Amino acid sequence: MNHLNDWQRRLSHVAWALLCVSCWQVAQLGAARANSVAPPTADFRIVAYVASWSVPTAIHAERLTHINFAFAQILNGRVALENEAVGASLKAIRALKTQNPTLKVLVSVGGWTAEGFSDAALTDASRTTFARSAVELLREYAIDGIDLDWEYPGQGVAGIKSRPADKQNFTLLLKTLRQQLDAESAARGRTAGDRYLLTIASADREYFDHTEMDKLPVYVDWINMMSYDFFNSLTSTTGHHAGLYRSESAAPKDRYANAAVQQHLAAGIPADKLVLGVAFYGRGFTGVTPLHNGLNQPYERYEGDHTYAELAEQFIGKQGFVRYWDERAQAPYLWNSATRTFITYDDPQSIEIKTRYAKKNHLGGIMFWESSEDRDGELLGVIARSGR
């Protein structure tokens, strides 16, 4: 997803991933016994992104319906894993089906700064090459589907190649991939309820200007909405990076999750094909103007990203950070008046509210980025309980 520093962390974790797979599998068995809860309901998806460079020691598979393993790359127009260590991690994730036989595992292709989509989508031949290679990966690792995280069609904000024709070519790429996945489903005897899955990660606002969102639902099983990162190092002020509603002090142009949901619905996307994204991390800003405890204010420097585990253990109520709750936005934030540091994040309270929002509005479920940033399954537990 849109993490500016994730790519740099990947290579340092490759060797660790290959060495630790066996120990990780043993830990999973113990974690499953210790954290057994009622499984999620079939009609409400709980989708976890698991990053190949930071696979957590314990993944509570019994609380999940789907795992998106991130990321596969596009190399010479073909979908491929980066190296053998990533493949070993994917096999370990696939083994979680022994704990939860109904769990579906998908490979997510792309991510922030991931190159190759525009060229892969360009022609009939390139689209066919891409789709067939995705099916080959699916066969090799016995997984259940493909998730596309193109950030973003028609936009070069992440430094990747883009074309105006990406708008139509993205639709054609999904159509070709859907055809190839359906053909493979038929060949494997996987019927409609168990066909190979195709999902995408979407954004709001200008994302719609560069895609044909009204044409996509027929090809995808659902859409993982990246309803976070509304404020980050690229924005001029602080704000709730994952706020559900508009803050009272927000500017009219500021983003929030409910507006993103309404934009998707207005495009004709069925509610049950929308999976609302929540964040297991926060974003910090320093040198912030102190008005409103730093909320929706200019800042001097983007301070950095923080996992929820780090926030809970080192920041919330510690080191001069005070937690505040924005009743209008239904979102928490931290403010340190001495250092003028503002941190925006999701926590158990906001995530419970979002899960209930998704249920009330008949959305298809909750997605989160990403598993290793949780604290001992705390946030996932909130989603699992509230999503029943």
CB neighbour list of residue 62: distance below 8 Å, 6 or more residues apart:
32, 35, 36, 37, 39, 99, 100
Instruction: Establish whether 300 is a catalytic residue.
Output: no
Phi (first) and psi of residue 319, to 5 degrees: 55, 30
Three-class SS of 200-261: EEECCCHHHHCCCCCCCCCCCCEEEECCCCCCCCCCCECCCCCCCCCCCCCCCCCCCHHHHH
Residues 186-205 as b or e (16 or more Cβ within 10 Å = b) = eeeeeeeeebbbbbbbbbbe
CA distance 356 to 358: 5
Phi (first) and psi of residue 329, to 5 degrees: -85, -15
Which of 151, 184, 370, 373 is catalytic? The answer is 151
Characterise 45 by phi-psi region: left (phi > 0), alpha (psi -120 to 50), beta (else). beta
CA 145 to chain centre: 16
Q: Regarding beta strands 222-225 and 145-149, do their DSSP bridges make them parallel or antiparallel, or are they unpaired?
A: unpaired
With beta carbons less than 8 A apart as the criterion, state whether 51 and 70 touch.
yes
- CB neighbours of residue 265 within 10 Å: 14
CA distance 257 to 204: 9
With beta carbons less than 8 A apart as the criterion, state whether 109 and 148 touch.
yes
What burial class does residue 18 get, using C-beta atoms within 10 Å of its C-beta: 0-12 exposed, 13-18 middle, 19+ buried? middle
Residue of 285, 278, 268, 274 whose CA lies nearest to 339: 285
- Upper half-sphere CA count for residue 303 (Cβ side, 13 Å): 19
CA distance 24 to 42: 27
Residue of 57, 86, 85 whose CA lies nearest to 69: 86
CA distance 32 to 37: 9
Catalytically active residues are 151
